[in-house]
Amino acid sequence: MLGAFVNAFRTPDLRRKLLFVLAIIVIFRLGSQLPSPGVNVSNVRECVAQLESNSGVYGLINLFSGGALLQLTVFALGIMPYITASIILQLLVVVIPRLEALKKEGQAGQAKITQYTRYLTLALAILQATGIVALARGGQLLQGCTLPLLYDDGVQTMLTMVITMTAGTAIIMWFGELITDRGIGNGMSILIFTQVVATFPSALWQLKEERGWDVFGMVLVIGMVIIAVVIFMEQGQRRIPVQYARRMVGRRMYGGSSTYIPLKVNQAGIIPVIFASSLLYLPALATQFDQDQSSSVAQWIQAHLVSGDHPIYMAVYFAMIIFFTYFYVAITFNPQEVADNMKKYGGFIPGIRAGKPTEEYLSYVLSRITAPGATYLGLIALIPLIALALVNANQNFPFGGTSILIMVGVALDTVKQIESQLQQRNYEGFLR
Amino acid sequence: MIITLTVLLVLTSLLLTLLVLLHKGRGGGLSDMFGGGMSSGLGGSSVAERNLDRITIGAGVIWFACVVALGLLLKIEHGG
């Protein structure tokens, strides 16, 4: 294991890529600590300390921005606008025929969709930055804190902050693309990974300070078990055998090989969890703008959908995750397309006819294998909520489902990519 | 001084945003992000792209310096 790391650094090509990623992460973290001009840093510090447990509404966003959001730093928005933009475009592809046509076009169309995502990211960044700065000015960002967060309330200061934060988001987007392009792994997910990991030690330490060593130890053990389960489930896949017919084209022989289609148990990754939590936080956000929160709807939402320990919240969350898992698998894996492609290249699943029966078989297997996958995702995501109800931990419980899923998922993916680079040079890899 | 810096900051911010948008977007979509298929489109970057990188880095450094300087000046001015 350690030898593999040494080998990774001994390969010049790989070493350059790893160092590049590390350098970008350092700059990224630095920017996440740098307050945007106009913020009264000492007041913000005091308010955040007063707030101690993060109010549930911003929990997820704050998690994704690694605590940068509440500090109003230049990278306060983090990668959230990009994620939201990707989700929106992902959904629009299903709805708008023109986008669907673009997607089918292949590489060029995909590049165009990426370009749209980037424009939308910046538009969303402007929106969110304005929202956050306005909340900070009105004193609603950190509720229950009366100190002014900004030096002055002028329009000019606000405008500067919004523009700076938007530029920050653009830089983050560029960093992500640079990592994807010249580093290892997918840039955006590595950046999210960094932010999640960054808040991890302090959250753990806070738990120890509040509860003492025995709870701390127990949480660590449970965390290890959860990580093991997550790795086990993420690696799980069903291999559907595919046999390719031998054929002669001119004087050369093609095909005749047998491969398999890997159907992962959790084909959708953690996207359903992100979808569900982003959607679930909308009603809570809406009530924030209602000043006195006196209407019955607002009160109902406050009681049932904001705090994570209410059974209705858990049930809705769980149901939404299962729905989105199926939804996302349906978007990303199209049995008809796979069956058609197989038929085109002379492949077939042993015992099943090509064409329509293959398509039916694939969708049958897929829907059956997604059932445990969806349940697993839902249960993992519920862990912090259950912990919240049981031991009264705060919502940013360090071994929370979303953060563990992100950490394990991204780490596995990145290690696999490093591994494939290593194996090009015949070195022994990390994973056996 | 503060006003000059603010103007400079706004200008570099706009310039940065524009420059980043000029880059060719790499690695799109969410499916790539969280354990999708491995897509390593190695195209190599063109000369134009490399020059664009240099300009972006330059603008980024100026932007960063502006943010730090403006933060410090504001802090001194408001005595906090």
Residue B43 has pLDDT above 60, yes or no: no
Selected residues 272-311 of chain A with any CB under 8 Å from a CB in chain B:
none
Beta carbons of B13 and A118 less than 8 Å apart: no
φ/ψ of A247, rounded to 5, equals: -150, 155
Tell me which chain A residues have a C-beta less than 8 angstroms from the C-beta of B62. Answer: none
CATH code that applies to domain A236-393: 1.10.3370.10
Of A151, A270, A420, the CB nearest to B34: A270
Cβ neighbours for A375, distance < 8 A, ≥ 6 positions apart: A322
Beta carbons of B9 and A35 less than 8 Å apart: no
* A418 contacts A14 by C-beta, under 8 angstroms: yes
pLDDT of A68-123, one tens digit each? 777 788 888 888 788 788 878 877 888 899 888 887 777 778 788 888 889 999 99
In a domain, B35, yes or no: no
| B76–chain A nearest CA distance, Å | 11
> For position A398, what pLDDT does the model report?
56
Cα–Cα distance for residue pair A203/A404, rounded to 1 Å = 13
Tell me which chain B residues have a C-beta less than 8 angstroms from the C-beta of A91. Answer: none
**What does the pLDDT average to over B25-46?**
49
| B47–chain A nearest CA distance, Å | 15
**What does the pLDDT average to over B54-64?**
92
Q: Which residue of A has its CA nearest to B43?
A: A181
Q: How confident is the model at residue A371 (pLDDT cuts 50, 70, 90)?
A: very high
pLDDT of A9-49, one tens digit each? 888 888 888 899 999 999 999 888 888 887 877 777 777 76
* A322 contacts A374 by C-beta, under 8 angstroms: yes
Q: Which residue of B has its CA nearest to A420?
A: B38
Sign of CA dihedral A94, A97, A99, A104: positive
Of A187, A271, A413, the CB nearest to B30: A271
**At CA A407, angle to CA A270 and CA A262, rounded to 5?**
50
What's the mean pLDDT when you consider all of chain A? 80
φ/ψ of A259, rounded to 5, equals: -125, -160
* One-letter-per-residue 3-state SS of A291-346: CCCCCHHHHHHHHHHHCCCCHHHHHHHHHHHHHHHHHHHHHHCCHHHHHHHHHHCC
Please tell me if residue A74 touches chain B, with a CB cutoff of 8 Å: yes
Q: Which residue of A has its CA nearest to B52?
A: A174
Beta carbons of A34 and B68 less than 8 Å apart: yes
In a domain, B70, yes or no: yes
Cβ neighbours for A257, distance < 8 A, ≥ 6 positions apart: A244
The contacts found for A349-357 with CB under 8 angstroms, 24 or more apart, are A349/A240, A349/A241, A349/A242, A349/A243, A350/A241, A350/A243
In the structure encoding, which two tokens stand for residue A155, read together?
């329009």
CATH 1.10.3370.10 domain range(s) in chain A: 1-199, 236-393
Cα–Cα distance for residue pair A420/A430, rounded to 1 Å = 10
In a domain, B28, yes or no: no
The domain of B61 spans 1-20+45-80
Please tell me if residue A267 touches chain B, with a CB cutoff of 8 Å: no
In a domain, B39, yes or no: no
A261 versus A384: the higher-pLDDT residue is A261
Q: How confident is the model at residue A269 (pLDDT cuts 50, 70, 90)?
A: confident
Tell me which chain A residues have a C-beta less than 8 angstroms from the C-beta of B28. Answer: 86, 110-111, 113-114, 117
Q: Which residue of A has its CA nearest to B77?
A: A151
DSSP H helical ranges for chain B: 2-22, 30-33, 47-77
pLDDT of A186-244, one tens digit each? 788 888 888 888 877 777 777 777 777 877 787 788 888 888 888 888 888 899 998 88
Q: How many domains does the structure of chain B reveal?
A: 1
Beta carbons of B41 and A412 less than 8 Å apart: no
B interface toward A at CB cutoff 8 Å? 6, 9-10, 12-14, 16-17, 20-21, 23-36, 38, 41, 45, 56, 60, 63-64, 67-68, 70-71, 74-75, 78, 80
Please tell me if residue A44 touches chain B, with a CB cutoff of 8 Å: no
Looking at the DSSP assignment, which residues form a beta bridge with residue A253?
A248
ipTM of the complex: 0.84
Q: Which residues of A206-220 are buried (b: 16+ CB within 10 A; e: fewer)?
A: bbeeeeeeeebeebe
pLDDT of A128-178, one tens digit each? 888 888 877 776 666 666 677 777 777 888 888 899 999 999 999 999 888
In a domain, B59, yes or no: yes
Q: How confident is the model at residue B35 (pLDDT cuts 50, 70, 90)?
A: very low
Choose the CATH number for A1-199 among 1.10.1520.10, 1.10.3370.10, 2.40.110.10, 1.10.4160.10. 1.10.3370.10
